[in-house]
Structures are given as C-alpha cells and as structure tokens.
Structure 1
Amino acid sequence: MPLHLIALAAAAFGIGTSEFVIMGLLPDVAADLGVSIDIAGLLITGYAMGVVIGAPIMAIITARLPRKTTLIGLASTFVIGNLLCALAPGYATLMAARVFTAFCHGAFFGIGAVVAADLVPRNQRSSAIALMFTGLTLANVLGVPLGTALGQAAGWRSTFWVVSGIGLLAVAALAAWLPARIPMQPGNILREFKVLRDPRVLWPLAASALASAALFCVLTYIAPLLRDVTGVSERGVTGVLLLFGVALTVGSTLGGRLGDRNLEFWLTRMFAGLVLVFLALSQAVHALAPMLALVFIWGTLGFALVPLLQTLIVDQAAEAPNLASTLNQGAFNLGNAGGAWLGSMALGSGLPLTGLPWMSAAIAAAALLLTLWGTRRHGRRAATLAGQAGDEALPLRSNA
C-alpha cells in the first residue's frame, strides 16, 4: 500500500473510532455527567448533524488551500476536538466538543477521497478510495471494541485521550508521507455550488443517503433484535458485531476492486443484493446460523457500496469534486440519522423488531430504482475508470 494511503487510512481509523466508540460508552458517560441515557444518546445525533452541517462549510473554506495543508489542518482539528471531549466538565461542553470534532469529519473523508483518487492511475481510483476507507472499517473491528473496553476499565475520558494520540500519529504520517504537490483545481465558490444543480451529481448524493438509511434502520436496533428475537446472549451480540465489522472491511476492499472494473454495473448489483439480503433477514431472524451468514453478507454488500458511491460522485462532479465528495459524507451521515429515526418511529408505532428488515428492504429498493434511473439517463460524466487510464498516474500539478 502506498505510504500516502496508509497516512489517510490511519487518520480515517482515528476519526471512525471517535465517531462510533461513544455508542459503547453511553452508560458510562450518562452516569458520570448525570444525564439520562436518552439524553446521552443525543451525542450521537449531534455528531452526525455536525458532519452534515460542517461538511460543505469546511469544503468551501478550504477550497483555495493546498490539499496537504488542508488534510493536516482537518486532522489537527480532530485531535483538538477529542482533547476537548476528554476535558469536558459537563454534558453541554461535551456536546459542543463532539460537534466541533464532527466538522472535520466530512471534509477530511471528502477531500481525502479526492486526493486518494488523484494520486493513482484512473483505473485504480476505486481501490485507492477503498484503501483509505479501510481505516474506517478497521475502526469498527478494532477501535470501537478496544476503545469501549478501555473506557469501561479506566473511565470514558481515557478513550478520548488515546484517540487523540492516534490522531497525532496520523497528523505526523500525513505530514511525512503526503506529496507536497497534490493535483487540485483552483477554488471557485460559484462553480462549486453551480455543479450541485446537475442531476448527475444530485442522484448519487441521494443514493448515498438511501444506502446509509437502509443500513442504520436495522443496525441501530441490531442488539435488541439479536437478543430478544434470535436469542443471542450479551456476549454473543458483541461477537456478532465483530463479525459485522469484519464484513465491512471485506466489503470495502471488494467494492474498490469491482469499481475499478465496472462501477455502474456493480453499483446496481450491490443494491439489488441488499434488497434480497434484507428480505432474507426478515425470515431468518429466529435462527442463529442463517442469521450469522446473512449478517456477514449484509455488511459486505453494505460497505462495498461506499467506495463505489464515493468514486461515482468524484467522477460526476468533475468541475467541483471537493465540495461534492464532502457533501457525500454529509449524505451518508444524514442517512445514518434518518434510518435510525425511521426505525424509532416505526417501533414506536407498534412495528415489531422483525419488521425493520422489511423497511430496510424498501429503502434499498428505492436506492436501486434511483440508481437504475441515474445510470441509464445520465451515466458518468468523467471518463470511465476502466479502459481509459492505462498504467500511468495523473501528472501532479502545483498547488499554486
């Protein structure tokens, strides 16, 4: 793996751990700060909305800055935000620190994806983006369980101290391994916003939001589903989530490789596969063996979509890839919040837990229809990855 991709993946690992580890620490945070568990849960919502709001703001602010400087600055903001989380004296300051940290999330992944794609030959762009996002999947496999265990043993603040240390290492790696000159287009705020009127840019953003909503409609409530319906023990739930995290890592790598071959073909197949998996989940929730198999397939297909959709948006928004790629991260997080909200509303209205996979199947079907329409009507604006690149990397241009 090229060193610059290792640096990007290391930062992605730290950011991903910081985002998701709070789920395992909620009881400890709630008890320490004297708030109820549902109020503590808003720390997750606040982070997600911070990504949604902060992504376009940071993309515009950094539009004229050199890419290396921007990525180092965003990673440094992440370190500061986690230090503030570790030092937060109360709930309000912790919420503010979480939102502050989230502002760098969308912009880092959005701009980092563009940089990863621009530093390799065109026929390797999806793989490069997938390698960067491997850091995010490893955060779920390693960072979250280890961070949760550390927080439970030494206090939740200790986890944020360690995550800050990981962030410092990532900053050092970015400074050492990113090239000084990274290809970029001169910043133009009017052009950046104008490209968002193009349907070829809007439909991939909508597909990303739907893909994430389908995932989180079930994933948010996977623990009670496994415990109360499948009959899995508390320790067994942790094992299933670990299996799901491994599937995310496999899916990211798989999506990158398939995207380099035929992005649009595999994008539609992944959505179609998700529909079938969710339908199968609705029937298999009472049996452990098929449930485990389907959870692995679900995680693989679900995260294979991430590099595919991220590459697609970079291609479609060729005139303003930084803003569009960053907004795509906001779309993913908007889908996270939307999927969890839809699941909550459905359960509150009397829908049983076994009905959630049906809802996710419907959302995935909507994403499939949108993708079929978008690919047939508009296609990809940029050159197709396969067949037009050869083995030569794009020439590097000055940041000036």
Structure 2
Amino acid sequence: MKRTLYLLALGIFGIATTEFGVIGILPQIAAHFQVTIDKAGWLLSAFALVIAIFGPFMVLLFGNMDKKKAMLFVLSIFTISNVISYEATDFNMLLIARILPAFLHPVFWSIALSTAATSVKKEDAPKAVGIVFGGFTIASVLGVPLSTLMADLFTWKAAFGLCVVVNVISGIGMAIWLPAMPAEKVSYSSQLSVLKKRELWTQLLLACLMVSAMYASYGYLAAYLDNVTRMSGSEISAMLLIFGITGVGGNWLAGKMLSKSISNTTIVFIAALAITHIILYTAGAHKALMIGVIVIWGFIHTGGFLISNINVTSAAPESPEFVNSIFTSCGNLAVTIGATVGGMTIARTNVHQIAWTSIVLLAMAGAVWVLKNGRQKITLT
C-alpha cells in the first residue's frame, strides 16, 4: 500500500511543479513580456480560478472512469500544456496554455487524496494523506526552486521545459507501477447531499481564509526577496529551496499533530503563521535575518494545505472524492484570492506590505475557528 501512496505522491509532484513553479519566475516573465508583476501573477491566480470554478464538475464527469487511466490522462495534458508554454510568443498565449490543464487538475488531486485516506485505517488517514501531500512538499523543495534556477541560468522558457520532464517521468512511473484502479459506481445525488452539511461549509470557509493568507505573501515571495531583501536570482533560488526543505519537516509534523487533534493543530498553525509574517515584515530588508525567517516560514507554511484538507474531509467522510474536489476548488479559489489581494496590495502600496495582507486574513481565520469551537461547546453543554 505504501508503494501506491508514494506513486500518487509522484503524480502530485508533477502537477504541483507545473502549478506553482511559476512563482519563482514571475519577475522574469513580467520583464520579458513587459507586463506588471501583478498582471504576471494571473499565471498563478487564473490557473487556480479555473480549478475553483470547474473542480467538482470535472470530478463528477470523470467519476465513472478507471482512476489510473484518468490520472495518466491528466498528466499527459499537463505535459502538452508545458510544451505550449515553452513555445509561447506573447503573454496571452502563455496565459491560455497555463489555463488548459487547470480544468483537469482537480481530477488528479481528488482521486489521489481520497485513495490515500480510504486505503488505511481511519486513525492513520492523516498520515497517509500526508505522504501524498509530500509530493506537493517535494515540488516546493525541488520543483519551484529548480524552475527559478533554470530561469536564472538560461531563460524563463527553461522552467517550463523542466515541467515537461517532470510530468513525463511522473506519468511513466505511474503507468508502470501503479495498479489498476477501477471506478466505484456512486450516484450523483448521494455525493451532492453532503452540500447540505453546515459543518462542511464552515470548514471550507476556514480553509479558504487560511490558504488565502498563505498565498497572499508566498505567491510573491520571489518578488519580495528581489525588491525588499535585494537578493540576486541565485540567492532567491536558494531561499526557495530552503523554504521547501524545511517544509518537508513541517508537513510531517502537521500529519503527526493532526492524528492527535485536528482542532488544536489548526489554531496553532494560524497563530504561528501570523507571528512569522510579523517577523517577515520586520526583518524583510536584512539578508541574514531573512534566512532564518525563510526557515521558520517554510516549516510552518507547508502544513497549511494538509491541515485544511483534513479539516474539510473530516466534515463529510462519506463522500471522499467529491469532498476532495470541493476542497481542491476551495483551495485554488483561496490561491486566487490570496494572489489577487496580494497583487492589489503591491499595486497600491509596495511588495513589503504583503505581510500585513496575510496577517489580516489569518486573523479572520482565527475568528472563524473561535466562533466554530465556541458554538460546539455551547451545543455540548
């Protein structure tokens, strides 16, 4: 079973590198196509917006297809998208190429995460999902900084060439070693019935605020290190690598903590990330201090998606794939919100102020957590 989990993580690594690898090369793309950094940010936010809107519908559409074949089809579309991105001659062509695979992204994520959660005992589900999320973490460790390094050594096109290689390797690995995964017949009405659950909507709101806070600042990390900390391209690549490496430990710790208490892990994450952003704002202009900030930030940040996912899926465990598709839509809507709000902050003030954008969103997430837990205590009494 662990081999299956690691293969699913490999696939997640492939699509996550495509989605988030652009983060480190936004300044180069903006300069090449002569667009503003906030407009270049749409390469991330438009991708996420498509997922947010179409995610659940695409999962329902592919619901009766063999799961292994569905995931291999998704990886093939991601490969084609990156080839088109490599050949893009203007910004609009690049943006369209980025949007193309976004429609199918939720199909892979929902299958991978639901398979991980349902393939082990209930109490071990957070750890199993954590292994699959490890593909996302490793994409942060290797995919994002390597994309940045490729752009720095060659051109921004080389970053998309890297994504082609990553997706091909992921597809070959899954085609050879992943066992057949026949679809389980589930009626649309039974899946849609989970939308009546108030707890699910509360957890989705909490997840949306948390992830928005994460990406309001992280989505512009390369720009922040460039403009505020005054780091070179190679230094930024190194910082992104450090951010991702520490995130591996953070993702592992989040999985362990979630197995003990989902609620406590959530509020600890919110508080810790808010404090980190206060330090980020204070230390932003100091290179030496920023290295320490990046270590702490990466360690805390990376567990956010896993924590959000477990919160949402635990609210409706009877329909794992559909709920995971809703979470994927919610998470990517949150990425869009975070990237958009962060871009607006940069456009109206400067990139240094994005830390406060994240802090405000985290405060709102904390308020939702307090109201939710307070209501539960009142109900119990």
User: With structure 2 as the length reference, what TM-score do the two structures score?
Assistant: 0.86
**Pairs within 5 Å for 1:338-353:** 338-350=337-349, 353=351
- Contact persistence 2:41–2:339 (CA under 8 A): no
Q: Which structure has more helix as a fraction of its residues? A: 2
Separation (CA, whole Å) in 1 of partners of 2:251 and 2:25: 26
1:366 and 2:369 aligned: no
How far does the alpha carbon of each residue in 1:13-62 deviate from its partner, in whole angstroms, 9 at most, with x for none?
Answer: 11121122334445665677x55355554333322222222312211102
- Contact persistence 1:200–1:378 (CA under 8 A): no
Q: Partner letter of residue 309 of structure 1?
A: S
CA drift of 1:216 comes to 2.0
The match for 2:320 is 321
- Contact persistence 1:210–1:366 (CA under 8 A): yes
SS at match of 1:186: coil
The match for 2:117 is 117
SS at match of 1:319: coil
CA drift of 1:161 comes to 4.1
CA drift of 1:332 comes to 1.9
- Contact persistence 2:44–2:339 (CA under 8 A): no
Separation (CA, whole Å) in 2 of partners of 1:229 and 1:24: 15
- Contact persistence 2:226–2:236 (CA under 8 A): yes
Shift of the 276–166 alpha-carbon distance from structure 1 to 2, 3 Å rule, reads closer
Q: Partner letter of residue 166 of structure 2?
A: I
1:54 and 2:54 aligned: yes
Instruction: Give the RMSD, CA atoms, in angstroms.
Output: 2.9
Shift of the 286–54 alpha-carbon distance from structure 1 to 2, 3 Å rule, reads same
- For structure 2, the residue ranges without an aligned partner over 5 or more in a row are none
CA drift of 1:101 comes to 1.1
Separation (CA, whole Å) in 2 of partners of 1:58 and 1:44: 20
CA drift of 1:112 comes to 0.9
Shift of the 152–310 alpha-carbon distance from structure 1 to 2, 3 Å rule, reads same
Separation (CA, whole Å) in 1 of partners of 2:289 and 2:197: 43
- Contact persistence 1:26–1:37 (CA under 8 A): no
- Contact persistence 2:27–2:222 (CA under 8 A): no
Shift of the 85–222 alpha-carbon distance from structure 1 to 2, 3 Å rule, reads closer
The match for 2:83 is 83
CA drift of 1:89 comes to 5.6
Separation (CA, whole Å) in 1 of partners of 2:181 and 2:374: 37
- Contact persistence 1:217–1:356 (CA under 8 A): yes
Shift of the 80–355 alpha-carbon distance from structure 1 to 2, 3 Å rule, reads closer
CA drift of 1:71 comes to 2.4
CA drift of 1:315 comes to 2.2
Separation (CA, whole Å) in 1 of partners of 2:142 and 2:11: 14
1:187 and 2:186 aligned: yes
The match for 2:172 is 172
How far does the alpha carbon of each residue in 1:165-184 deviate from its partner, in whole angstroms, 9 at most, with x for none?
Answer: 332332233234334357x7
- For structure 1, the residue ranges without an aligned partner over 5 or more in a row are 380-400
Deviation larger for 312-321 or 116-125: 312-321
Q: Partner letter of residue 340 of structure 2?
A: W
